[in-house]
Amino acid sequence: MFYRRKFYIVKNEFVDIFNRHFNETNLPNQIKHGARLVGRWMTPHDDSTTEIFAVWEYDCYEKYEEIEANVRSDSEHLKRINKWYEENGGRDHVYKEYLEEVKNEQLISTLLK
């Protein structure tokens, strides 16, 4: 199995908008292409930001790459993503004003095999 963690530090005033976007746009597209969500959580980061992260499971790294390629090339999904960015001031604006940090990381198990 291959696990990844998608991690964000989001300004508090944008958390509801960001979570709604995940649930309505990103999650359905990921699942459509075969990604499996283990879970998604948030916790206060500091007075003005919130940490939000999701853990995803794939059969292997190659399957992850295949699914991501399909997600990123889904033209209807790309239209929805671009529309969402436009509604929130544009991609550059969202990253500059609302997202303080974004990471996509592989998770490595510490359990003995």
The pLDDT value given to residue 96: 97
Vertex 97: Cα angle to 76 and 38 (nearest 5): 55
Q: Quick one: average pLDDT of 56-85?
A: 96
Spatial strand order of the sheet with 2-11 comes to 36-44, 49-58, 2-11, 99-107
Q: Quick one: average pLDDT of 41-46?
A: 98
DSSP letter (8 states) at residue 73? T
Whether residue 87 has pLDDT greater than 90: yes
- Ordered by where they begin, the domains of the chain are 2-107 (3.30.70.100)
